[in-house]
Amino acid sequence: MDMKKTFYVLSATALGILLSVIAHAALEKLTIGQLLSQGAVPVAYGYFGQACFLPPLFSYGILSAGAALGLILGFRWWDIVYVKKRRAFLWRTVIIKKRKRK
């Protein structure tokens, strides 16, 4: 892989991880809210150097799913944007052709 493709795929993977962290936070907030509304005390698990309220296997699953989906997204969009040269301009797909200069 060339450097541009590597950077593109790693950036998409980082985006997937960041989105999974946001999803983790939202699920954790919902879980804590549900437990508190039922009068139960949430149990904290200690991993990642912090107290998390979702089970560890579930948290690792969310993180790995975000990384995997980001990786797939990076390779898929690299193929669409740079190999097939498809771009979308205002709901219309345009195939860009290189002009030969004389």
Could you give the CA distance from residue 22 to residue 97 in angstroms, rounded to a whole number?
39
- Does 89 reside within a domain? yes
- Total domains in the chain come to 1
Q: Tokens standing for 14?
A: 């980082």
Which two tokens mark 57? 């296997």
CA separation for the pair 34, 43 (Å, rounded): 13
Domain that holds residue 25: 3-95
Quick one: what percent of the chain has pLDDT higher than 90?
A: 55
In a domain, 25, yes or no: yes
The answer to whether residue 101 is domain-embedded is: no
Q: 44-73 pLDDT, tens per residue? A: 887 767 788 888 899 899 999 999 999 999
Beta strands in 1-102 (DSSP E): 45-47, 50-52, 86-88, 93-95
φ, ψ dihedrals at 6, nearest 5°: -60, -45
102/92 Cα distance (integer angstroms): 30
Residue 102 counted as domain residue:
no
